[in-house]
Chain A
């Protein structure tokens, strides 16, 4: 009897803690949705449960007055190209590092690690000057190029770790059967490495989508902004005045992204632990 009582108390305690955590998680999220539905643009008079329920901010975002849809499109372009490009580039590099012996292989791995350690901020001035020199400042392609180059050290490491777990006997057997280098790569390594490649693709899709620092330096005209820069500029100057619009814009971004994440998180975690802990 005492045992059962204790167990029941414990379970109640667990649920109680989880309930508190739920409140802490949901409060800011619901607050944002509430804000976005308030009438008027002032944060002073807005409340979590709107007195005058209105969709005006959502309408405004889609109106020709705002650049919101352009930003959305820009972000999708940058993210898509970065994701696709990084999967291709990184898997090529990782394949060479995982399966071949060549000059500078071991040192190359150390260099990759070292390059990750220095803050990205350090490169900003040089990148600005560099893009300016080759005339790609304020272009989406310049931004994509930087993302593509910058992701290699980290992701090559991740993917190489995963490739290492694929038994060598598989590609050796294929080689004996007469498959060439590229054939082994495309029909054996890539299909087997799908989980980690999905992780790389997802990371490189999400990262540019919400990176703020680099685009804020590279992009200067409003029609080129990505979502993060655009949304930040909503509230940068008149924080209290535009907040409801910002909230509406955020909700429209956060909902699809959160849905994708929740849907894929299982694969994400398994890919990360496989590549990360063994890599």
Chain B
């Protein structure tokens, strides 16, 4: 109803203002907006927008400038007077200032671009819609930003900020001996990484923990996938009865909280009074039982076995779902061709199963690489090893935990976590890049 009227209005306006509009200068709008955010918008006669920008910049200058100044100074020096300057607090302020600065700069650049584009449009004979119309349009265009803002803001502070902080920490000498408030922390460049690579005690620990982490990830994950696949195929056999009951039981270890089961296994594997030694090993073989918790080799075996127990049901459930969806026609065709059971498994079952679940299986590897709970809750990474800064079953992540919370060697802990992050992301990125999500374009 209102639309035709509006159009007429629009045209007459256009005619009337044509001369003035041609003289409208985008460069001037741009310069004005560079000088002070919002001025260009005022020049463009977008008063509401201009006032909002002016308010934002003024508020920023009044309240935040000192904070950011201090933050940047703190980030550069990490404090100068021991006892007064708290290096870590300065580091935190520094990171937060950087984040605020990034947001403000983005807004500022947006303001300049907006002023210039709008001025150009005005010169080409465009008149601003009325306020209501303009707000509606703004809502339309900013909708995806409105949707994502609450989540991303939270993520910024809970995920991104800690990550930046930790990355910076890796280049400092923050540890027990020079921790604030009594002492200052200093930037040391790559010293932590150099120590990891060259100082014997760090190097030996890093190499042994790293290689055990790889062995642990590959063996434990492959074992749980293997067992899951084997049992899924077994139960899927058409001659097996009570399928539903069997499947329910096989999923049980997944359903019971892992936190609880790990602690229970820790008790069962206890060297002196654990049920494994007391009820199984000693009656079978005699002797003292096996040193499950005090010998690194046996601890590792125990942890891998426990993880298999914990992890196979998920894979089993996953595979069972896929197996049921494979059409019988495939197998019938294979039967006619006279193929063996092995061939059917190799050329029909396996490709189907792997195709449908590959990303989830990759995630299983990544999860075990970072499986802190089982290592820490079973034996706290123990038993201790001579001439090393980590225990016999410590994987990288539990070692980082110990470096952080037991020996307070924060800088080194951060350095090790960066290495871990790069490893996992390198591996996963290579795998995920080929998935479809990236190719799909979004447009409504």
Q: Which residues from chain A sit less than 8 Å from chain B, CB to CB?
A: 7, 10-11, 14-15, 17-18, 21-22, 24-26, 28-29, 31-32, 43-44, 48, 89-90, 92-93, 95-102, 105-106, 108-109, 113-127, 129-130, 133, 145-146, 148-150, 152-153, 156-157, 160-161, 164, 168, 171-172, 175, 181, 206, 209-210, 212-213, 217, 228, 231-232, 235, 239-240, 243, 246-247, 250, 253-254, 257-259, 261-262, 265, 268-270, 272-273, 276-279
CB distance from B110 to the nearest CB of A (A): 9
Q: Which residue of B lies closest to A154 (CB)?
A: B363
**Are A273 and B442 interface neighbours, CB within 8 A?**
no
A150 proximity list for chain B (CB < 8 A):
155, 158-159
Q: Which residue of B lies closest to A100 (CB)?
A: B144
CA distance A90 to B147 in the complex (A): 10
Within 8 A of A (CB), among B10-34: none
CA distance A66 to B428 in the complex (A): 45
**Are B263 and A235 interface neighbours, CB within 8 A?**
yes
What are 7 residue pairs bridging A and B, where the CB atoms are less than 8 Å apart in the complex?
Answer: A117-B429, A126-B162, A164-B437, A210-B258, A231-B263, A235-B267, A246-B263
Given A117-B424, A235-B263, A261-B255: A273 and B404 interface contact (C-beta under 8 Å):
no
CA distance A16 to B216 in the complex (A): 29
**Are A126 and B161 interface neighbours, CB within 8 A?**
yes
B148 within 8 A of A: yes
Q: Which residues from chain B sit less than 8 Å from chain A, CB to CB?
A: 88-89, 92, 140, 143-145, 147-148, 150-152, 154-155, 157-163, 165-166, 169, 231, 234-235, 237, 239-240, 246, 248-261, 263-265, 267-268, 270, 273, 275, 279, 309, 317-318, 320-322, 355-360, 363, 366, 370, 372-373, 376-377, 397, 400-401, 404-405, 410, 413-414, 417-418, 420-421, 424-425, 428-429, 432, 435-438, 440-444
Name the contact of A25 in the complex, choosing from B249, B357, B405, B435 (C-beta under 8 A): B249
A95 proximity list for chain B (CB < 8 A):
147
B418 proximity list for chain A (CB < 8 A):
122
B355 proximity list for chain A (CB < 8 A):
277
**Are B437 and A160 interface neighbours, CB within 8 A?**
yes
Q: Give the interface SS of chain B, mostly helix, strand, loop or mixed.
A: helix
A129 proximity list for chain B (CB < 8 A):
88-89, 92, 165
**Are B166 and A123 interface neighbours, CB within 8 A?**
yes
Q: Which residue of A lies closest to B142 (CB)?
A: A102
Given A25-B250, A210-B258, A262-B248: A101 and B443 interface contact (C-beta under 8 Å):
yes
**Are A28 and B437 interface neighbours, CB within 8 A?**
no
Across the A-B interface, how many residue pairs have beta carbons closer than 8 Å?
282
In this complex, the member of B144, B246, B401 whose beta carbon has the largest number of chain A beta carbons within 10 angstroms is B144
B405 proximity list for chain A (CB < 8 A):
217
**Are A11 and B420 interface neighbours, CB within 8 A?**
no
**Are B425 and A239 interface neighbours, CB within 8 A?**
no
B254 proximity list for chain A (CB < 8 A):
261, 265
CA distance A102 to B162 in the complex (A): 26
A247 proximity list for chain B (CB < 8 A):
264
**Are B256 and A153 interface neighbours, CB within 8 A?**
no
**Are A153 and B155 interface neighbours, CB within 8 A?**
yes
**Are B264 and A122 interface neighbours, CB within 8 A?**
no
CB distance from A242 to the nearest CB of B (A): 11
6 tightest Cβ-Cβ pairs between the two chains A and B? A149-B158, A123-B162, A126-B162, A261-B255, A117-B425, A100-B144
Given A212-B373, A262-B251: A90 and B260 interface contact (C-beta under 8 Å):
no
Name the contact of A168 in the complex, choosing from B240, B268, B444 (C-beta under 8 A): B444
CA distance A272 to B415 in the complex (A): 34
**Are B231 and A123 interface neighbours, CB within 8 A?**
no
